[in-house]
Amino acid sequence: MVLTHLGTGSRGNATLLETEQAKVLIDQGFSGAQLQKRLARLNIDPTEIDCIFISHHHGDHGGGALVAQKRWEIQIQANHRTAEELKLIPEFTSYFDSLDLIRVSEDLSILPVPVPHSGSDNVAFVASHNGHRAAVITDLGSWTDELVTHVRGCEHIAIEANYDHNRLMNGPYPFSLKDRISGRGGHLSNEQTGKFLAEVCTPETRSISLTHLSEKNNQPHIAESTVLYYIDDVFSGDISISLQDGPEKSHYIGNAHESQPATELHSTTR
């Protein structure tokens, strides 16, 4: 299985998962033109996408789902509230409940796991491929024991490291916004992400992607160094930052290849 972030951040999110038998997206927060452009860098046409899983209805994660249905008739997988908020077309929508295991193909299954995020029924996703697992977790202000259970030991973990606490609190945002971002239903700080990863990383965890960094309240080097402080004793693999303008790097799950630039991977495998 190969995981490639097409871009993460407040202006849009989408992650490509590929196996020999399936191509799926986790979230579609881009315009149709942007999605087509980013997939084209990987020599993929939107019509090749089997389905799109939407984590929640906020525009930067699900705002492009409807256009994907209208333009390419792509099937959307979402929970009922997300589908209703996004006004998805029933004909091209499949509905899941939390902890329903969805089999996309013989070699790919997706498990949605509920996470706290205000104003949405948000889920993280754990993908399974021939006994290997990868997690895509975004937009949560805290975590649950249930999430820890399902993510622990994943070979790859993509998780938001949204803000540096000092930058947020000393920045220009009004108090109400600072309070919402840092609350239980908001986003994870670099420190919180590090503490969560310290709970779920095992010797099987080979790579981590830090995603959804705030452009105003964070910096890549701050996010990486803060997280590494908490996981230095439990993680010795590859850590990378996913930014808004992707795709950048592809991560292999389930074989011995190292991560490599996304465009290089697809130019050599197609």
- Residue 270 falls within a domain, yes or no? no
- Residue 78 falls within a domain, yes or no? yes
- Residue 266 falls within a domain, yes or no? no
Confidence of residue 131 (pLDDT cuts 50, 70, 90): very high
Token pair, residue 256, equals 């011995």
Confidence of residue 142 (pLDDT cuts 50, 70, 90): very high
Distance from first CA to last CA of the chain, Å, rounded?
A: 15
Question: DSSP 3-state assignment of 231?
Answer: helix
- Residue 260 falls within a domain, yes or no? no
What mean pLDDT comes out for the span 132-159?
A: 96
What mean pLDDT comes out for the span 20-43?
A: 98
Task: Give residue 208's domain range.
Answer: 2-255
Confidence of residue 248 (pLDDT cuts 50, 70, 90): confident
- Residue 210 falls within a domain, yes or no? yes
pTM to 2 decimal places: 0.94
Please report the beta strands in the chain, taking only residues with DSSP state E, as ranges in sequence order: 2-7, 14-18, 23-26, 51-53, 75-78, 93-95, 102-105, 108-114, 123-129, 132-137, 156-160, 207-211, 238-241, 249-252, 260-261
- Residue 261 falls within a domain, yes or no? no
Token pair, residue 9, equals 């951040």
Cis (ω within 30 of 0) for the bond into 247? yes
Confidence check: pLDDT of 123 > 80: yes
Number of structural domains (the chain) is 1
Rounded Cα–Cα distance for residues 63 and 267 (Å): 29
Confidence of residue 46 (pLDDT cuts 50, 70, 90): very high
Confidence check: pLDDT of 263 > 80: no
- Residue 124 falls within a domain, yes or no? yes
What does the pLDDT look like over 160-184, one tens digit per residue? 999 999 999 999 999 999 999 999 8
What mean pLDDT comes out for the span 109-119?
A: 93
Strands 75-78 and 156-160: unpaired
pLDDT at residue 264, as a whole number: 59
Confidence check: pLDDT of 267 > 60: no
Average pLDDT of the chain? 94
Confidence check: pLDDT of 220 > 70: yes
The H or E element containing residue 246 is none
Confidence check: pLDDT of 261 > 70: no
Q: What is the CATH number of the domain that holds 207?
A: 3.60.15.10
* Whole-number CA gyration radius for the chain: 17
pLDDT at residue 270, as a whole number: 38
How much of the chain exceeds pLDDT 90, in percent?
Answer: 90
Long-range contact set of residues 122-126: C-beta below 8 Å, sequence gap at least 24: 122/55, 122/56, 123/55, 123/56, 123/79, 123/98, 124/55, 124/150, 124/151, 125/26, 125/53, 125/55, 126/150, 126/151, 126/154
3-state secondary structure labels for all residues of 251-268: EECCCCCCCEEHHHHHHH
Confidence check: pLDDT of 102 > 90: yes
Rounded Cα–Cα distance for residues 49 and 52 (Å): 8
- Residue 77 falls within a domain, yes or no? yes
What mean pLDDT comes out for the span 191-216?
A: 97
What mean pLDDT comes out for the span 64-76?
A: 98
Confidence of residue 53 (pLDDT cuts 50, 70, 90): very high
Confidence of residue 120 (pLDDT cuts 50, 70, 90): confident
